[in-house]
Amino acid sequence: MSARIAIVLFPGSNCELDVARSIEHLGATAEIVFHTETDLHGADAVVIPGGFAHGDYLRTGAIARFSPVMEAVAAHARAGGPVVGICNGFQILTEAGLLPGALQKNADLRFLCDTVEVRVVSTRSVLTGSAERDALLRIPINHFEGNYTCDPATLERLQAHDRVVLRYVENPNGSLDDIAGICNEAGNVVGLMPHPERASEAILGSADGVVLLRSLLDAATRGVRLPG
């Protein structure tokens, strides 16, 4: 049976159709779930796509975390179900407390729209389970607030518990420890700034995001978390 992936749509999200297309291209079922809904329609995994949820007012992700659907997302995460936040989705997951730290403005105050190289640092997350450690992936980034930060104790925990999932080869935004993506302790909640859905077919310039999306679909099909 193919995996069913819920994609949360907030007012201001703008990558939901790209994510849906890339997931369906890999043979899974994608379903857009509006932010006012209170359940995920029984999906196996949930993706929070990029964009500007609620206009990014106050802070990126600050308002989105109070949308009704976020309780269902948190419950899914607690149950070990795969949850992936891409770009604005990553910002929302940190604001919601599902991932530690915060995304601050890029170090040089520039909006970045580029294809960058990232290294797979950990394969224990639902997004990298099928990838090779140290694999280099070319994936687009597209953000103004992608500069990951956290307190020293949190960074130490992330490093010690193999929770840094992706690192930039050349840090584009000032992100602490070159972090491009992290996961929670169990590995089932992942946030990343690069957009794997925009590197999902050769015609887009790179298909390197497929291994990440495929990992997510594999994890979704398996049901719950990866072994820690």
Partner 1 sequence: MKFEARVEVTHLPGVLDPQGATVARALPALGYRNVSEIRIGKSIRLIIDATDEAAARAQVEEMCERLLANPVIEAYEIEIGG
Instruction: Find, among 55, 214, 212, the residue nearest to 122 by Cα.
Output: 212
Instruction: Report d(CA 116, CA 125) in Å as an integer.
Output: 21
Task: Note whether 151 binds partner 1 by CB under 8 A.
Answer: yes
Rounded Cα distance, 21 and 19, in Å:
5
Q: Does 62 bind partner 1 (CB under 8 A)?
A: yes
The residue range among 46-54, 116-124, 146-154, 208-216 that interacts with partner 1, by the rule CB under 8 A, is 146-154
The residue assigned the tokens 């999932």 is 165
**Coil, helix or strand for 200?**
coil
Query: 170 catalytic, yes or no?
Result: no
The CB density around residue 55, as the number of other CB atoms within 10 Å, is 13
Determine if 26 is a binding residue for partner 1 (CB under 8 A).
no
- Residue 55 as a binder of partner 1 (CB under 8 A): the answer is no
Shortest approach of partner 1 to residue 28 CB, angstroms?
34
- 174 lies in the site for partner 1, by CB under 8 A: yes
CA proximity to 41, closest of 29, 27, 26, 53: 29
Annotated catalytic residue within 15, 87, 150, 183: 87
- Footprint of partner 1 on this chain (CB under 8 A)? 58-59, 62, 66, 94-95, 100-102, 104-109, 147, 149-151, 174
Catalytic residues: 87, 195, 197
